[in-house]
Amino acid sequence: MTKKKINIAVTGLNAIDSPGPGIAVIRSLREAVSFDVRIIGLAYESLEPGIYMHDLIDKTYQIPYPSAGAESLISRIEYIHEKEKLDVIIPNFDAELLPFIKLEKRLKDMGIHLFLPTEEQFNERQKINLPDFGKKYHIKVPHSKAVYSPAEIPGLVNEFNYPVVVKGKYYDADIAHTQEQVQAYFNKILNKWGLPIIIQQFVKGTEYNATGLGDGKGNTIAAVPMRKQYITDKGKAWGGISIDDEEILKMTDHFVSSTKWRGGFELELIKDFTNTFYLLEINPRMPAWIYLSVGVGQNIPEALTKLALGEKVEPYQHYAVGKMFIRYSYDMIVDVEEFHRISTMGEI
C-alpha cells in the first residue's frame, strides 16, 4: 500500500557544536513508518549546515528572525506555502515558538498544522517563572532569581551560595564561582539574549534528561529518559544513554498530566548526592538528541506530526534501555554558488 506524502517544514538547521534539533527531527521523520515526507528546511542564516544536506532536505527557504514580527513571518510562510503546499510546520527554537503559537490559528486556516504548547503553558515554564512552576505542580527546582541590573549582583550572596548558574532567558548557562564571574557572564549573556538574566543555585550531581510528547489532554504519548555520558564546554550532551529510571518516568508523567502539556518537550534534571532529582529547565520543544527516541523505538517527531494532523496516536508502551547516541561532526564540501543563492535569493 502506498503511504501518503506529507510536506513538512522544519526549522533549527544549525547542526553546529551547539546544535538545533532540526536535523535530528528530519532524520526521525525520514524513518517514519506511517507516511512519506517531503522536507522543507526553514533557515535563518545562510551558513546553517542543514541547508546543504540535500539527502535530508528537499528544499530550503530563508525566513525572517522572530524579532521581525509576526506579519513578516506569516508573509514569508504564505509565499513558501504557495510553492510547497505545506501540511505541517515543526519549529525547533525556543525564541521562535511564541510567534508560531500566536500564528497557529491563522496558519491552520491556510491548511498548515502545528502541534505546540499553549501560550500559557509556554510562559509558565519559562526560566524566570520556574520557582512558581515548581510550587504549583509540586516539583523540586533549585532556588533561582531573575536579575535585571548589574547593581543586584552584590546582593546575591544574601540568597545564594557560590557557585551559581548564570542563565539567559532562552539559551546559555555558565557556572560562576565569584561575584566577578557573575558580572562577566551577566554581560556576555545580556549582549546575546537581553534581560532578564536568571541566577540559579548550582546543584552538584549527575545530569539526566527526559524527552517526551504530550497530547494536550494530560496523556503522555512518549517518554524517553537518558543520562548524559559526555558534556561539551557549552553544556550540551555529546553522548548519552537511554536508561530505565522509574522516578524520571513518574516525574515526566506528572509534568504532562498536571500541565496537560501539548507537544514535544525536554526536562533537564540533576540528581544530587541524596539521590533527589531537581528540575533545572523545561525546554518547550524536542531536543537536539531526539533521534535517540527513534533508536529506542519511540519516533516522537512522527507521533507529533500525526497529532498535528488530528490523527489518533496510541501512547508508546516500551523503549529499549542501554542504547547510546554519540554525536559527531564532519566537513561538507559545497559549491559557493549554493551559498550565494540562499544569501541573495533566500531559497535553494
Indicate whether 321 and 216 sit together in one domain. yes
- What confidence score (pLDDT) does residue 59 get? 98
CATH number at residue 275: 3.30.470.20
CATH number at residue 159: 3.30.1490
Indicate whether 237 and 282 sit together in one domain. yes
Element at 292 (helix H, strand E): helix 291-295
Kindly give, in sequence order, each residue whose CB lies less than 8 Å from that of residue 163, ignoring residues fewer than 6 positions away: 175, 176, 177, 202
- Average pLDDT (171-187) is 94
User: Which one-letter amino acid corresponds to residue 173?
Assistant: A
Indicate whether 256 and 315 sit together in one domain. yes
Cα angle 277, 281, 287; round to 5 = 110
Indicate whether 188 and 288 sit together in one domain. no
- Average pLDDT (150-157) is 95
Question: Given the DSSP bridges, would you call strands 144-147 and 164-167 parallel, antiparallel or unpaired?
Answer: unpaired
Closest CA to 61 of 134, 10, 120: 10
Strand, coil or helix: 10: strand
- What confidence score (pLDDT) does residue 96 get? 94
Per-residue pLDDT tens digits for 255-276: 999 999 999 999 999 999 999 9
For residue 311, what is its C-alpha cell? 490523527
- What confidence score (pLDDT) does residue 238 get? 84
Indicate whether 23 and 85 sit together in one domain. yes
Indicate whether 288 and 196 sit together in one domain. no
- Average pLDDT (49-70) is 95
Indicate whether 78 and 170 sit together in one domain. no
| CA–CA distance, 192 with 256 (Å, rounded to integer) | 31
| CA–CA distance, 320 with 19 (Å, rounded to integer) | 25
Extended beta strands in 28-82, E state: 36-43, 59-62
Per-residue pLDDT tens digits for 289-302: 999 999 999 999 99
Q: Is residue 81 part of a domain?
A: yes
Q: Is residue 134 part of a domain?
A: no
Indicate whether 322 and 225 sit together in one domain. yes
Place of cell 532536505: 57
Indicate whether 190 and 284 sit together in one domain. no
Indicate whether 98 and 26 sit together in one domain. yes
Indicate whether 271 and 308 sit together in one domain. yes
Query: Residue 1: pLDDT band by 50, 70, 90 thresholds?
Result: low
Domain that holds residue 272: 204-326
Q: How many domains does the chain have?
A: 3
Q: Phi first, then psi: give them for residue 127, nearest 5 degrees.
A: -55, -35
Closest CA to 44 of 32, 60, 56, 62: 62
- Burial class (CB within 10 angstroms; exposed 0-12, middle 13-18, buried 19+) of 311: exposed
Question: Given the DSSP bridges, would you call strands 262-271 and 277-283 parallel, antiparallel or unpaired?
Answer: antiparallel
- Average pLDDT (189-214) is 95
The residues with which 324 forms a beta bridge, in sequence order, are 241
Q: Is residue 123 part of a domain?
A: no
CATH number at residue 71: 3.40.50.20
Indicate whether 315 and 336 sit together in one domain. no
What is the residue-averaged pLDDT of the chain? Answer: 95
Query: Residue 19: pLDDT band by 50, 70, 90 thresholds?
Result: confident
For residue 133, what is its C-alpha cell? 512552576
Q: Is residue 297 part of a domain?
A: yes
